[in-house]
Chains A and B, each alone.
Chain A
Amino acid sequence: MIETTSQADISLEALRTGDHAEFARLVDAYSAPIYRLGLRMLGNEQDAEDVLQNTFLSALTHLSNFEGRSSVLTWLYRIAVNESLMVMRRGKSEVNVDDTESSDETIEDLSPSQFVDWGALPEDELLSAEGKQALDHAIQKLPENLRMVFLLRDIQELSIKDTAEALGLTESNVKVRLLRARLSLREQLSIYYGERINQEKTND
């Protein structure tokens, strides 16, 4: 297991002069989160590894263009997101150039439909293996454009600002997509836990 090194430890200057040892340190500092993002985004290890390798190859090639306005990790995420999109669209006959649906930009049509009060269920039930599986499944079912925002913000725990930067979106856009993603997960988890609560009642 490799601990993430804080950004301050990596010298941009050394990276730009082609210092291999420094690049190796960069790779060790940030490869794990990039790999995890790929896994969540693509759902299989082979594709995640392709994204990981291509991200760092691309970083190596484009280091001279990196101006340091965002953090190195945000910059790497941005590359990784693009690499993931390429893998996702590989083999798809129709590539949707503009994947922004108009409904992504507003919250007018959002209206929760599940009102099961499952928030008070005990932790061990919420975090059971089956519960986690239901959560993973719900995340996989999110549409691509919502999933990316959700993964960066809630799984990789980037700030709204960094998420916006990594995806080339505005912050308000990120907030709307994040809300849509969270509410969609909430609906799905409500259905799942609602069934569990009903089963328990039946068994009583």
Chain B
Amino acid sequence: MTESTHSNCKSLLGSLSDYVDGELGAELCREIEKHIAECDDCRIVVDTTRKTVDLVHASNHPQAGLPDEVRDRLFKRLNLADYLKPPAQ
């Protein structure tokens, strides 16, 4: 990491979310990639932030459905008990 590039670290942080979400323009992406090739701390922050978001998504699937008894009580509370047949497949 050199002094001249280190001043960019802060500005990189502001674009980090968009970058890991793939929503950053090509030019800014190139700037980030150029910077992290030279700044190891920033490369680690970018890599581990992306990994953090990936882990959140991965641990979130498959998504659980509603427990049957919770559905039963919900339908009764909403006066929809007549419609309490199993959900259509």
Contacts and interface: CB of A to CB of B under 8 A. Distances in A.
7 contacts: A2-B87, A27-B80, A31-B74, A32-B63, A32-B65, A126-B55, A131-B55
A115 B45 contact: yes
Main secondary structure of the interface of B (DSSP, over half): helix
A167 interface: no
A82 interface: no
- Which of the four size classes fits the interface of chain A? 35 or more
Interface in A168-204: 175, 178-179, 182-183, 185-186, 189-190
A57 B45 contact: no
- Which of the four size classes fits the interface of chain B? 35 or more
A131 B55 CA distance: 9
A103 to B, nearest CB: 14
Main secondary structure of the interface of A (DSSP, over half): helix
A145 interface: no
B30 to A, nearest CB: 21
B55 A115 contact: no
Interface of B: 10, 13-14, 16-18, 20, 40-41, 44-45, 47-53, 55-60, 63-66, 70-71, 73-75, 77-78, 80, 82-83, 87
Interface of A: 1-3, 20-21, 23-24, 27-28, 31-33, 35-36, 45, 49, 52-53, 56-57, 60, 107, 110-112, 115-120, 126-127, 131-132, 135, 139, 154-155, 157, 175, 178-179, 182-183, 185-186, 189-190
A186 B63 contact: no
Contacts of B77: 53, 57
A112 B17 CA distance: 14
Nearest to A126: B55
